[in-house]
Amino acid sequence: MIKVSHINKSFEGTPVLKDINASFEKGKVNLIIGQSGSGKTVLLKTIVGLHQPDSGDIWYDERNFTGMDAEDRKDVRQEMGMLFQGSALFDSLTVEENVRFPLDMFTRKSMEERIERVNTCLVRVNLYNVNKLYPSELSGGMQKRVAIARAIALNPKYLFCDEPNSGLDPRTAIVIDELIQELTQEFCMTTIVNTHDMNSVFGIGENVIFIYQGEKYWEGSGEDIFRCDNKELNDFIFASDILKKIRDL
Amino acid sequence: MSFLFHIGRYILFVKRVFARPLKPRIFFKKVITEIDTLGINSVGIVFVISLFMGAVITLQLAYNIDMPFIPRYAIGLGSRDSIILEFSSTIVSLILAGKVGSHIASEIGTMRVTEQIDVLDVMGINSASFLVLPKVVALIFINPVLVVLSMGIGIFGGWIAGSFTGIVPGADYIYGIQYAFVPFYIFYSLIKSVVFAFLIATISGYWGYYTKGGSLEVGRSSTTAVVVSSVQILLFNLILTQLLLA
């Protein structure tokens, strides 16, 4: 479980996150939704420690992440896997080397064991015969799957995904969503996904947090959204005509 | 104020770069790769520049000291000292600041804007050290080698120019390059090459590492890295010359 309490963050005097309190449950896909520029990515990057909050605490289970020094944080970091918006695969490494990277850095396994683990992770994300290809030779959806394989290589307890569907066609986006959901349940991870894709919200949103102008405006499940009367959330979710029609059915 | 900000952040960055590598085996593998990328791939340009530089120095010296009471071998002597003391270390390092510096800044800058550095940070890896230290070590190792190579090629270029134009007879030139040789000049030049290598790798790494934005900013970082590295090379050339030769 990950808990954030009273998180504030500003950049050059401009507040981006304002007193955010939230709990992200274990074994569930927790979504952070909101418009572009609402502070979703800053919140996610603050949770993983890429940004230092101005105030507030972040708890990984019983461990206060914000109170740790860099050395102590390393232990928590090795329990994290992260999928970035643009996949962020290392251009100069092959698919196999990308997935093997965390194993090379943090384990003492033999090369055979590491390659076996790489193959297990690649098969788990439905990728075959791509070990020797470079990221530039893969489609966007395949790159995302390689990034997921790299993120789960060390069996993380916490999985973070920053807009995993951006730039993907709707069908591939659903495949990625389903994969994230399956992996979350299979490994009982605490998963946090940043998204503004409505298919994700209704498809895998077990616990949804809506951020509006840096503040938490609403929290509930994907199904609760239909019954919610929060104006800002409704304006965001039902912005398109097709979703308005679905709501009115 | 911006100048002071960058000085302070650069010092903190260098402190982060010089951390103990997480996995020494991976570190040494990266150093070897960087020696190839940054050093071996620069041999061609060093060869061409040094050959022509040596030839031009010899010809200019020959035309400028065309006096009967100055022996012809003095041209060889002058060319040798110019090449060893100044041209090979400083000019080659300035050329490398352009070639290698822009490569380092754009590589690391691209990794920054595509969030590859964030991946390292999330894993708990010291990204500054992981990315920049192998380049610093590789360049400190290979730059003196390139400078020594440049010295030999430059002197050879001078011999070719003198002999083929007939301005300096080959025997006089050979005598000149052996006359009153001071071995410390080589040492002085190598010290400079090590300092310049450090400046090129860390300054370019710094500008790449702190790139913000997109491809346009990567280009800007790359240009800034080359300009700042070049200016620092000239500044430290002056300081080291005063310290070592005065």
| Residue ranges of domains in chain A | 1-79+160-172+190-249, 88-155
Contacts A91 to B, Cβ<8 Å: 110, 114, 116
Give me the mean pLDDT over the A71-97 stretch: 91
pLDDT by residue (tens digit) across B152-184? 999 999 999 999 999 899 999 999 999 999 999
Contacts B124 to A, Cβ<8 Å: 73-74, 77-78
The confidence score (pLDDT) of residue A67 equals 87
Which residue out of A84, A93, A108 would a mutagenesis test of the B interface target, given it has the greatest number of B Cβ atoms within 10 Å? Answer: A84
Using the beta-carbon criterion (under 8 Å), do B124 and A84 form an inter-chain contact? no
pLDDT by residue (tens digit) across B198-225? 999 999 999 999 999 999 999 999 999 9
Min distance A246 CA to chain B CA atoms (Å): 37
pLDDT by residue (tens digit) across B76-118? 999 999 999 999 999 999 999 999 999 999 999 999 999 999 9
- Nearest-CB residue to A88 (from B23, B26, B119): B119
What pLDDT band is residue A245 in, cutting at 50, 70 and 90? confident
Using the beta-carbon criterion (under 8 Å), do A73 and B124 form an inter-chain contact? yes
Contacts B119 to A, Cβ<8 Å: 82, 84, 88, 90
Task: Assess whether pLDDT exceeds 90 at residue B65.
Answer: no
The confidence score (pLDDT) of residue A80 equals 93
The confidence score (pLDDT) of residue A114 equals 95
Task: Assess whether pLDDT exceeds 90 at residue A112.
Answer: yes
Which string of b and e fits A208-220 if b means at least 16 CB within 10 Å?
A: bbbbbebbbbbeb
Give me the mean pLDDT over the A71-94 stretch: 91
Q: How many CB pairs under 8 A join A and B?
A: 47
Using the beta-carbon criterion (under 8 Å), do B22 and A105 form an inter-chain contact? yes
B238 and A CB contact within 8 Å: no
Asked: is A1-79+160-172+190-249 a CATH 3.20.19.10 domain? The reply is no
What pLDDT band is residue A247 in, cutting at 50, 70 and 90? low
Using the beta-carbon criterion (under 8 Å), do B115 and A84 form an inter-chain contact? yes
Residues 116-135 of B with CB under 8 A from A: 116, 118-119, 121-125
pLDDT by residue (tens digit) across A56-74? 999 999 899 998 888 888 8
Task: Assess whether pLDDT exceeds 70 at residue B58.
Answer: yes
Task: Assess whether pLDDT exceeds 90 at residue B36.
Answer: yes
Q: What is the DSSP string of A61-124?
A: TTEESTTS-HHHHHHHHTTEEEE-TT----TTS-HHHHHHHHHHHH----HHHHHHHHHHHHHH
Weakest mean pLDDT among A223-232, B18-27, B51-60, B117-126:
A223-232
The confidence score (pLDDT) of residue B240 equals 96
3-state SS of chain B?
Answer: CHHHHHHHHHHHHHHHHCCCCCCHHHHHHHHHHHHHHHHHHHHHHHHHHHHHHHHHHHHHHHHHCCCCCCCCHHHHHHHHHHHHHHHHHHHHHHHHHHHHHHHHHHHHHHHHHCCHHHHHHHHCCCHHHHHHHHHHHHHHHHHHHHHHHHHHHHHHHHHHHHHHHCCCCHHHHHHHHHCCCCHHHHHHHHHHHHHHHHHHHHHHHHHHHCCCCCHHHHHHHHHHHHHHHHHHHHHHHHHHHHHHHC
The confidence score (pLDDT) of residue A224 equals 81
Using the beta-carbon criterion (under 8 Å), do A105 and B23 form an inter-chain contact? yes
What pLDDT band is residue A19 in, cutting at 50, 70 and 90? very high
Using the beta-carbon criterion (under 8 Å), do B124 and A78 form an inter-chain contact? yes
pLDDT by residue (tens digit) across A155-202? 999 999 998 888 888 888 888 899 899 999 988 999 999 988 888 888
Among chain B residues, CA nearest to A153: B123
Cβ neighbours of B231 (radius 10 Å): 13
A74 and B CB contact within 8 Å: yes
The confidence score (pLDDT) of residue A171 equals 85
Contacts A88 to B, Cβ<8 Å: 114-116, 118-119
Min distance A50 CA to chain B CA atoms (Å): 7
B239 and A CB contact within 8 Å: no
Contacts A85 to B, Cβ<8 Å: 115
Give me the mean pLDDT over the B3-16 stretch: 95
Using the beta-carbon criterion (under 8 Å), do B122 and A102 form an inter-chain contact? no
Which percentage of chain A shows pLDDT scores above 90?
59
Mean pLDDT of chain B: 94
For residue A144 the two structure tokens come to 């995302």
